[in-house]
Structure 1
Amino acid sequence: MTAHSDDAVLSAAVALDGQGACIARARHTAAGFLTRMRSEHGVAVSQRAVEVTQLVVSELVTNARKYAAGPILMNLRIVGDLLELQVWDSDPVLPVARAADVGRVGQHGLEIVMALCQSFEAMREPVGKRITVRLPLTDHPLGDGAGAWTGR
């Protein structure tokens, strides 16, 4: 993992091999990054934000591992009061959220990610695709209009 810091951006990047342990490594990397941002750089990061980030990372890296062969790249970046998380994989097919179906077993990961994140974007790259999500770093009180963290 490499860490970068300049006046406005705090970030880290990690290359994952796409094997079984990469999901746990990605979760651990994300939690460690947010903990360091809080302790070393004074960034306001709630414990809930760390936990939600780990869930979102797990869902995105699991999908990348399941649908694309080869390596996965994960980038984490603090942008204001948000965490920007990017996951790249080699499969150019963009994910599509399925309609809600309480009877469906599994395949709810993208629904979960979209419900928890403030924004979601999937873009094709020259090779593969990049998923970019943004998550609030602190808890928002109910009803503030932020969308995330309101129990939906």
Structure 2
Amino acid sequence: MGIHADGDGCTGPSTDEHLIRAGFALGGDSGCIAEARHHAVAFLEDARTGHHLPVSDRVTDLTQLVVSELVTNARKYAPGPVLMELRISARAVDVVVWDSDPALPAARAADPSRIGQHGLEIVEAVTESLFMEQEPVGKRITARIALFDTPRATAVRKPV
């Protein structure tokens, strides 16, 4: 799979037009994780009821999980605020999280005896694609969750 940054934070050529987008600035305090999940649920409910998009309970649950894991990592490893953008197209939900730490995370090797630090493994397992890139300040991580069950692509990291 080639790497292509088309400006939407995801890999590959994209013909998907984002039907709805919403951005949120999270303070980085202990309440920001719950706040981020709340924003995700409200965003998807608006997509389902206001825009009649096919957002299943599975997609809502997975989106909340991905938001929780990515915002938790941003809060844990990067000082300052966290920015989150949610986007939905006719086929997928994108969760985009920006934080101030430029270091790109890496999933650790599977180890059932390890307690904690499984967040990125979980995100990779439940998303269609995962794209990470360094920004002039910090990094941006985009996780794509399919609205419909499809074969999962592998995670791609943009070379530094």
| Whole-Å separation in 2 of the counterparts to 1:53 and 1:47 | 10
Q: Paired residue for 1:147, among 143, 146, 152? A: 152
**Which amino acid counterpart does residue 119 of structure 1 have in structure 2?**
S
1:61-80 → structure 2 map (5 Å cutoff)? 61-80=71-90
Identity of paired residues, percent?
A: 55
Deviation at 1:40, TM superposition (A): 0.3
What is the Cα-based RMSD across aligned positions, in Å? 1.4
1:3 corresponds to: none
- Give the 3-state SS of the residue equivalent to 2:49 in structure 1: helix
Partner of 1:9: 19
Query: Can you give the 5+ residue segments of structure 2 that lack an aligned partner in the other structure?
Result: 1-16, 154-160
- Pick which of 76-85 and 66-75 moved more: 76-85
Show the counterpart of 1:42: 52
1:60 to 61, 70, 77: 70
CA distance in 2, matches of 1:48, 1:116: 11
- What is the rounded CA distance, in whole Å, between the counterparts of 1:35 and 1:66 in structure 2? 28
Q: Across the two proteins, how many residue pairs are aligned to each other?
A: 137
Shift of 1:136: 1.3
Distance 1:38 1:130 in 2: 27
Normalised by the length of structure 1, the TM-score is 0.86
Aligned residue in 1 for 2:103: 93
Aligned mates of 2:34, 2:69 — CA distance in 1? 11
Q: CA deviation at 1:8?
A: 4.9
Cα gap change, 1:65/1:80 in structure 2, threshold over 3 Å: closer, same or farther? same
What stretches of structure 1 move > 4 A for 4+ residues in a row?
Answer: none
Alignment of 1:113-152 (within 5 A): 113-138=123-148, 140=149, 146-147=151-152
**Does the Cα contact within 8 Å between 2:53 and 2:90 map onto a contact in 1?**
no
Q: Which residue of 1 aligns with 2:3?
A: none
Residues 66, 95 of structure 2: 8 Å contact kept: no
Superposed CA offset, 1:82-141 (max 9, x none): 001100000000000100011111100000000000000110000000000100124x2x
1:29 aligned to which of 9, 28, 39 = 39
Q: Structure 1: any 5+ residue segments left out of the alignment?
A: 1-6
- Cα distance in 1 for partners of 2:152, 2:81 equals 32
- In 2, Cα distance between the equivalents of 1:40 and 1:60? 27
| Cα shift at 1:9 | 2.6
